[in-house]
Structure 1
Amino acid sequence: MTIEQIFRDKSIKAKAKVSTIGKWLLNGELPLEELLLYAEKQNATDKATCIEAIEYATKKTPAIADENLLTFVTAALKDDEPRVKWESAKVIGNIAPLFQATLDRSITNLMSNTVNTGTVVRWATAYALGEILKLKTDTNQSLLPKIEALSEKEEDNGVKKKYLDALKKAKKL
């Protein structure tokens, strides 16, 4: 079965598509680059499903990520579709340790999603920013006060908790 066949088959539920494609990525049956090229040309729903499959795979094995993936999900943070934004943020959170020196653009795009009206977008953004903060890089000098301010302003307890947990871990040495 191909990616295209999976998406055309309406009997396959979204979660099954995600896990199947994610497993293909993990076992090398599907090159990441091929999935990114496919996702780029899809409608918002299918693009988000592709990114969710990448999130599934990078949660288990972050090392499958490369610079092209970081560039793709960083750009996808600007997408109009909320699900594309939140799945991209989760991927960045999963792979941030691999790209510690090249996260500036990702941080910039994540910061624009901290005020999104969607709670899930803000939660995933808080997760990604928190994972970046936990890396304790030079970026923390500017990121730490921003996350402290965000945690004070955030009204949703789940999102706020993500920020506070990251701040706690980042301040421990």
Structure 2
Amino acid sequence: MPTITEILKSKRKPKEIIELLAKELKRDEKAIDELIQCFENGTTAEKGNCMEAIEYVTKEYPEFAKNCLDLVIAHLNDKAPRVKWEACRIIGNVASMFPDKIEEAIPKLLVNTNDKGTVVRWSAAFALTEIAKSSSKMQKELVPEFKRILERETNKGVRNIYLKYLKGAGL
């Protein structure tokens, strides 16, 4: 089996790299340590691939994030848009499993609701609404924020995430 470094440095297409990384992360729980090291030393594209591979795994196995949640939270406001949006999606995927840890991500996610990139704002909306779904305490804090965001958000897709949440919560 190729190492995380070999997969990242290969000349494969990005989608194939992400699938191979995710497969390796699922196969070997120690591979996350190598992936984190590669992330820290990698190019912007490699960092995006690493974060997307984690997102891919946490969609199916949210508990996987226990070994990399600090990294994800630390990079919620990364300068690379792809790293930001993948980190937001990871938070959304694992919100119900790590409610106490996720709480520290909220201020960074709220910063991303003002990002110029629609995908970053959409991903932040996904994460924030998943956090609100998983914690009544967080719901009380976030609902007023959602209403403020809706006043300024112009993108229909992003708005719909908040509106769907508010409707489903009976608010």
TM range (shorter): over 0.9
Q: TM-score, normalised by structure 2?
A: 0.92
Once superposed, what is the RMSD of the aligned Cα atoms? 1.6
Q: CA deviation at 1:30?
A: 5.1
User: Does 1:4 pair with 2:5?
Assistant: yes
Identity %: 39
Instruction: Name which of structure 1's ranges 78-87 and 18-27 shifts more when overlaid on structure 2.
Output: 18-27
Name the amino acid aligned to 1:102: K
SS of equivalent to 2:42? coil
| 2: CA distance, partners of 1:29 / 1:107 | 27
Q: Report if aligned partners of 1:134, 1:169 keep a CA contact under 8 Å in 2.
A: no
Instruction: Name which of structure 1's ranges 148-157 and 108-117 shifts more when overlaid on structure 2.
Output: 148-157
Match of residue 16 from structure 1: 16
Q: Report if aligned partners of 2:76, 2:84 keep a CA contact under 8 Å in 1.
A: yes
User: Does 1:43 pair with 2:56?
Assistant: no
SS of equivalent to 2:97? helix
Q: Report if aligned partners of 1:148, 1:167 keep a CA contact under 8 Å in 2.
A: no
SS of equivalent to 2:96? helix
Q: How many residues align?
A: 170
Q: Report if aligned partners of 2:4, 2:34 keep a CA contact under 8 Å in 1.
A: no
| 2: CA distance, partners of 1:2 / 1:79 | 25
Gap runs ≥5 in structure 2: none
| 1: CA distance, partners of 2:128 / 2:81 | 17
1:100-128 CA deviation, whole Å, 9 max, x = no partner? 12222200100001000000000111110
Runs of 4 or more above 3 Å deviation? none
Q: CA deviation at 1:2?
A: 1.5
| 1: CA distance, partners of 2:101 / 2:143 | 18
| 2: CA distance, partners of 1:145 / 1:89 | 20
SS of equivalent to 1:120? helix
| 1: CA distance, partners of 2:42 / 2:74 | 15
Q: Report if aligned partners of 2:5, 2:35 keep a CA contact under 8 Å in 1.
A: no
| 2: CA distance, partners of 1:31 / 1:105 | 26
Q: CA deviation at 1:152?
A: 2.9
- Cα 1:7–1:140 change in 2 (3 A) is same
Name the amino acid aligned to 2:5: E
Name the amino acid aligned to 1:7: L
1:68-114 CA deviation, whole Å, 9 max, x = no partner? 42211111112100001000000010011111122222001000010
Match of residue 153 from structure 2: 154
1:109-160 CA deviation, whole Å, 9 max, x = no partner? 0000100000000011111001111113312221111012212321001111
Match of residue 83 from structure 2: 84
Matches within 5 A, 1:25-40: 25-28=25-28, 31-40=31-40
Gap runs ≥5 in structure 1: none
| 2: CA distance, partners of 1:27 / 1:150 | 40
Q: TM-score, normalised by structure 1?
A: 0.91
Q: CA deviation at 1:31?
A: 2.7
